[in-house]
Structure 1
Amino acid sequence: MRLLMLGGTEFVGRAIVESALARDWHVTVFHRGRHPAPPGVTELLGDRTTPDGLAELAEGRWDMVVDTWSAAPSVVRDSARLLAGRVDRYLYVSSCSVYAAPHTAGYDETAPVVDGSADAGDVAYPEAKRGGELAVVEAFGEDRSLLVRAGLIIGPWENIGRLPWWLRRTARGGPMTAPGPRDTPLQYIDVRDLADWTLSAAERGLSGPYNLVSEAGHTTVEGLLEACVRATGADPELRWTDPEVILAAGVEPWTDLPIWVPREQLPELHHAVHGVGVAKALAAGLRCRPVGETVADTWEWLQSIGGEAPQRPDRPVVGLSPAAEAKLLGT
């Protein structure tokens, strides 16, 4: 198989490239040159946001193209139009953020989506991803388009900082905020499971939208934190704290305490993140590895790069500061 990866040097793109190379596919990576391309690929350089930035893609044929773009939909539009006659299938990594609020537990691919436009410039993230979807379908048609609506993504190469923050915090030890309840269900996908399913789905000719994330309750807050303790070998004092106490202190779920969203206090947000319906993807072969494997492999990767994860410049830094946590815990 001949894969064209738009991007491919960080997180999701990197995982897709690694999965393709493991299958002995021929991989072409088109990127801006800001980060080294994975070994074993054909490398093309260009900036999709500049005039003539797609010049290196003016020739060539591929079986599929994968695109993870999350900014102006017009960038996806231009790439899709250029490649429509020379690529068989377009795989767009979208997001469950395209679904319109309010969210109900178990919402699936038939749920209402936000408005979007393939011709839009800089817009909010949900509209950007929806516009990207529309751009792909416009150029390739529904039968040659696969829209991967990912939920929370974690694992090696993460450049958002959610799981890396919990791992570094656990390794630091001492009194540590453990946001309750312990059995709060979590839903996420390991980036490598996303990559493997996406490429396999494309091989099988699947098309249309698929929510891609583990089953709701794949693990719990307690399961995640215990996995962090095992992976790091640390011995923190987990102080289980009621959601009401955390919220009253002005600590923000999802950002100050990444991944965690209290189910009873913030049900709509919890459903949006941890209540996604995934029956369609499961029926199409999605399999998700245990939380312990994801956490351990992410910690091993963090250690291999010196302990500090890369940070996307267009995303805010997540995690509770030591001072704020000390105040919350009264230490």
Structure 2
Amino acid sequence: MKLTNLAASALLVLLASCSKQETTLLKFDRSLAIVVKPAEGDGVPVSGATAATFLAAKTWVLFEQFNSYSSGTPSVVFKYNRSSNSTVANLQSQLNFTQSGTLSQTGTYTVKNAAGTTVVDQGTWSLTTTSGLHVVSMTSTTIANLKHTFDLQVVDSYNLTVYDEISNSYSVFYSSTNVPGNNSTSTTAAMLTAGGWKYKNYYENYLTVPCTLAYRENRISPVTALPASSSKFGFYYRFAADGTYTQITGTTTSVYTYGVWTLTDNNTKLHLQNTTVPSTPEVIYNIALLTDQTPRRFEFSDASNGNLYSEMINNSGIY
């Protein structure tokens, strides 16, 4: 049967429903059916057999899911550790694939609840490749007549990203050992200064249900720019161990702002004071997530408006 909305397909959309691997990373533009540059890193496409092996190598945990992804205003139905997730999205599951043989592109799948203690669905899967696009088809043996198909956008040792063309949903999974924040051991200051940062996602009404995705890096259809409300955050950052920072306020490398940064409230608040224009009011972020593991992530909200929420990822190619 066709899956037409999230509620009707809660189990399989969330069960089938990113993220850097330098040598083996996939990302595809569904509308063009050609390989395009990955969202993170400069990986190269892999064969269907290799993609299937990656798929079967990990237990996958849902991190983010967006509905109406190819429309002008995608909604966020699930975000890991977000307090305002919708009821349906709370059916977060763990997903496992097994191969029927070495390098096989067929096998079985099992879906468990978020705790990994109860099987909620299982069935068979197969992977096919057309014009460089990997498509995974899943058929439930638990739920009669239930089938599910999604495009593999990214699959590597850390991250599984899929696009469901029928429900127009886009889901990001992490391997259970690489869910951001679970394994970080460095101090907040050390994680903050470990390298540059660039925008990945930006939300303007983060605390509402559903929340709207205002910007996502490399989103192809439609392409959106960072909204005006994000201007004080800067598109790129680099924090130095001496307490100074460099900020690029646009998507080019020509507009620099300099300042000083401090941490307060048991390292949960980040204060930025512009020294290029000293009269600029201090900016304060509430740190929601900061990780030193692969992939590095920095998530924060505006301390004066919790609905303005930003996600940044490791940036090594700008400065």
Q: Same fold (TM over 0.5)?
A: no
Larger helix share, 1 or 2: 1
Larger strand share, 1 or 2: 2
Q: Structure 1-normalised TM-score?
A: 0.26
Q: Structure 2-normalised TM-score?
A: 0.26
